[in-house]
């Protein structure tokens, strides 16, 4: 009975991690596009130095990579799940994620 609950908890935890990842991906993409737009059209939000915009883009990418490294782990063994967003089974421990 406890193994059943553990499996359910792992699936719920993975679903939460997947949801957060699926929100972070387009949000990062939208912010990067917005920064690129600001870089090409400085009249929209005011003048910004290109170096500042480049630094903001690099910082945004670093934050996304850091978030993904923290978030995208197997709920059971805590190893990185890899680039496959549609993963059903952990490649490290074999735990069923969905």
Higher-confidence position of 98 and 1: 98
Residue 76 falls inside a structural domain: no
- Is the pLDDT at 41 greater than 90, yes or no? no
Global pTM value: 0.80
Report the C-alpha gap between 59 and 69 in whole angstroms.
15
What range does the domain containing 41 cover? 2-71
User: Could you report the per-residue pLDDT of 47-97, keeping only the tens digit for each?
Assistant: 777 788 889 999 999 999 999 999 999 998 999 998 888 888 998 888 898
Return the pLDDT at 3: 56
pLDDT score recorded for residue 38? 84
Q: What domain count does the chain have?
A: 1
DSSP-derived letter for residue 89 is B
- DSSP structural state of residue 96: B
Structure tokens at 24: 């972070």
Judge whether 78 lies within some domain: no
Q: Which residues contact 81 (CB under 8 A, 6 or more apart)?
A: 72, 73, 74, 87, 90, 91
Query: Does residue 95 form part of some domain?
Result: no
Model pLDDT, residue 4: 53
Residue 66 counted as domain residue: yes
């Amino acid at each position: 009975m406890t193994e059943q609950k553990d499996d359910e908890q792992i699936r719920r935890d993975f679903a939460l991690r997947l949801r957060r990842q699926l929100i972070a991906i387009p949000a990062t993409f939208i912010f990067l596009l917005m920064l690129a737009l600001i870089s090409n059209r400085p009249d929209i939000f005011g003048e910004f130095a290109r170096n500042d915009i480049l630094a903001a883009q690099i910082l945004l990418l670093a934050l996304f990579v850091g978030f993904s490294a923290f978030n995208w782990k197997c709920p059971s063994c805590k190893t990185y799940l890899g680039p496959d967003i549609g993963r059903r089974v952990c490649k490290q421990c074999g735990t069923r994620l969905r």
